[in-house]
Structure 1
Amino acid sequence: MIEIHGPPVDGLQFRHYRGEDDLPGMLRVYSAAHEADRIEEVTSLEQLRLNYENLVNFDPDRDITMVEVDGELVAYARVFWNDLVEGGRSYENFGFVHPKWRRKGIGDALHRHNEARLREIAAAHADVSPKWFGSEGPDTDAGNTALLAGDGYTPARYFYDMVAPTLDGIEPLPMPQGIELRPVKRDQYRTIWLGAEEAFRDHWGQAEQVEADWERFVADPDNKDPELWRIGWAGDEVAGVVITTVPAEENELHGRARVYVASVAVRRPWRRRGLARALMTSSLVAAREAGFTSANLGVDTDSPTGATTLYESLGFIPDKTFTAYRKPLA
């Protein structure tokens, strides 16, 4: 058990993570929290397992806390840290509480415990500056917003989940001069991943990528079929990337035929030439021809590449908002 000063709830216990055996219960809590917050994304047990197999800057024996009431898992929380491309180190704090057990002080207890653990971790990083706490959440989770605001966290960035309710009217565009589309092969995945990661180094909050990030990407079941991917090649170099996937379980749950544009990235030498638009229209037209009727994606509302304007011009509209928060770690 973990000694945490928690709320007066009968049968409440805080304990350590027990590994893979905990994942089904965690998924149940995670999915219930998403449903309550009107987040339609569906995560499978396979994806959750893959994620926890490839975590970095994280000690499974100390950096995750499980919460039970009478032996039933009702919440969990985790901490980790990231070195950021922009400089400095972010100490991340998040958790999920089953909706039936919200507003009882469990989230507050986990938050305080997470911060204490992160301060302990940060104290061993004496040579790093600046440092800050980081967290995020959907704006539909009023409890999370109030908890963070009440503890000195301030909004640092805003994000949209955008939806194109129809793919009708989207027409393919020619590739810019010198750019070629080629069928995607499995042995190209690492080159594609590296190209996209280089492009994203310009983005706010981007963490330095490590080998575990690649392992998670290549093993993700959503990336198994690259039929809707569009990669712009300039000779042997990746110029731009659009990775579009099919969230089959999500489509089945919500009774729709939607694709998810998981990544749109253009490397600096090939920007401002219409490449992102050409890659996206090619991918979305292919999705329409395959029988899909809508699409969604996520975007930083202050993207340095003007991505929001591009997506709006292709029929995407904001559907949900998310906020990333920061708090100085002194």
Structure 2
Amino acid sequence: MTSADTTADSLTWTPLTLEDVPALTALLNRVDQADDLGEPAEEAGTREWLTMPGRDLALDSLAVRQGEELVAVSLVDVHIALDRDGRARCQLLGAVDPVHRRRGLGTALFEHGERRAAELASERHPGTAAVFRASGGRDPEASAPAEGPLTGGADVRPLLERRGYRRARSWLAMTRELPGADLPAVDPDGARVSAPADTEREATRLAHLAAFADHWGSAPIGEERWTVLWSSHTARRELSTIAVGGEGTVLAYAIAMEDRPGVLHLALVGTRPEARGRGLARAVIARTLAAGARAGYASAELEVDAESLTGATRLYDALGFTREHVYATFEKPLD
């Protein structure tokens, strides 16, 4: 039972199933439109999200229904590996239909999600410190009224703060027109710069593990989840780029996806620590942007840690990206 079970007799609380893909997609799109997120969902992506390796919908999800309509949902994702700081990372994901907010549903879903995340963290990482993590949405624009309603998913922040979550990190969403200004010529320093072949999937994953090992909150991604990302229906491998050194080692990479029509999303960009400072990140990004422009994309986008220890924000500024929005991650230690 949850604390919101008595708010309406017509509500039922059950786990998600794959049969919910159409209803969940519709819910996510209602939330996207109301919150001005600019992240429309489609059924193929929703199915990939629900079937991610390591996910048990019967235990890790909770759906709230009114009759046949899905009105709220939560999903727990506890990473199989510890993060950079040796913590179990417990991601809490969810959505509440705008017309059903302020009824206690969000609180009940967080209560369920935190209980399940604590159980799963204890199973996977016994005796290890853990942290709950949730999205705090997009910061209001400077021109927004001080007392106006929060948009961009930020209306969850009062609930997070009441539950003891605090802002832990900020992320910059950056965009660039394509083709845009000419990109500077880059010497790849002897590396081969090209689209990755399918046979280079694991070499690229290993490069990603090395590149992000020292980044805040990062935890190694396993082979199964990497394969899902690599082969996702939104993946654009021909527009992705890797820089390969001797013996086939991937030194730098830019993984491209198309989450919105006509927008090239640089989902992952990284360079092995030993290869930093050679211009390889600039080389792989430049090749991906040029390929995207030739393919007819109107713009490119990416997200970057506002406090990136590698100075990535300066690189993206130099390549013509501009800062569009700021998003927040909230955290709470698990007692």
Report the TM-score, using the length of structure 2 for normalisation: 0.87
Q: Is the 8 A contact 2:186 2:283 kept in 1?
A: yes
Distance (Å, rounded) in 2 between the aligned partners of 1:304 and 1:220: 29
Q: Which residue of 2 aligns with 1:138?
A: 137
* Cα distance, 1:124 vs structure 2: 5.0
Determine if the alignment matches structure 1 residue 230 to structure 2 residue 228. no
Determine if the alignment matches structure 1 residue 310 to structure 2 residue 315. yes
- Summarize the alignment of residues 233-248 of structure 1 with structure 2, pairs less than 5 Å apart: 233-235=244-246, 236-247=248-259
Distance (Å, rounded) in 1 between the aligned partners of 2:161 and 2:32: 21
Q: Is the 8 A contact 1:232 1:241 kept in 2?
A: yes
Q: Is the 8 A contact 2:88 2:125 kept in 1?
A: no
Determine if the alignment matches structure 1 residue 194 to structure 2 residue 206. yes
CA separation of 1:234/1:211 partners in 2, compared to 1, >3 Å: closer, same or farther?
closer
**Partner SS, residue 2 of structure 2:** coil
* Cα distance, 1:10 vs structure 2: 4.6
Q: Which residue of 2 aligns with 1:59?
A: 56
- Structure 1 residues 115-167: Cα deviation after superposition (integer angstroms, max 9, x where no partner): 23334445557843322222123122232111101111011111122111453
Determine if the alignment matches structure 1 residue 102 to structure 2 residue 114. no
**Partner SS, residue 85 of structure 2:** coil
Q: Which residue of 2 aligns with 1:254?
A: none
CA separation of 1:226/1:166 partners in 2, compared to 1, >3 Å: closer, same or farther?
closer
Q: Is the 8 A contact 1:173 1:282 kept in 2?
A: no
* Cα distance, 1:172 vs structure 2: 4.5
Q: Is the 8 A contact 1:184 1:231 kept in 2?
A: yes
Letter in 2 for 1:44: E
Letter in 2 for 1:230: T
- Summarize the alignment of residues 96-175 of structure 1 with structure 2, pairs less than 5 Å apart: 96-122=95-121, 127-139=126-138, 140-175=152-187
Distance (Å, rounded) in 1 between the aligned partners of 2:195 and 2:323: 31
Q: Is the 8 A contact 1:10 1:69 kept in 2?
A: no
Q: Is the 8 A contact 1:50 1:219 kept in 2?
A: no
Q: Is the 8 A contact 1:230 1:241 kept in 2?
A: yes
Distance (Å, rounded) in 2 between the aligned partners of 1:52 and 1:200: 25
Letter in 1 for 2:71: V
Q: Is the 8 A contact 2:88 2:121 kept in 1?
A: no
Q: Is the 8 A contact 2:75 2:92 kept in 1?
A: yes
Distance (Å, rounded) in 1 between the aligned partners of 2:244 and 2:113: 44
- Structure 1 residues 83-125: Cα deviation after superposition (integer angstroms, max 9, x where no partner): 2233111222221111221222211121122223334445557
Distance (Å, rounded) in 1 between the aligned partners of 2:89 and 2:18: 27
Distance (Å, rounded) in 1 between the aligned partners of 2:122 and 2:194: 49
Q: Is the 8 A contact 1:94 1:111 kept in 2?
A: no
Please report the RMSD computed on the Cα atoms of aligned residues, expressed in angstroms.
2.1
Report the TM-score, using the length of structure 1 for normalisation: 0.88
Q: Is the 8 A contact 2:183 2:319 kept in 1?
A: no
Unmatched 5+ stretches in structure 1: 252-256
- Summarize the alignment of residues 55-94 of structure 1 with structure 2, pairs less than 5 Å apart: 55-56=53-54, 58-82=55-79, 83-94=82-93
Letter in 1 for 2:88: R
Distance (Å, rounded) in 2 between the aligned partners of 1:273 and 1:126: 38
Higher mean C-alpha displacement, 152-161 vs 103-112: 103-112
Higher mean C-alpha displacement, 235-244 vs 32-41: 32-41
Distance (Å, rounded) in 1 between the aligned partners of 2:255 and 2:195: 13
Distance (Å, rounded) in 2 between the aligned partners of 1:172 and 1:230: 17
* Cα distance, 1:28 vs structure 2: 1.2
**Partner SS, residue 302 of structure 2:** strand
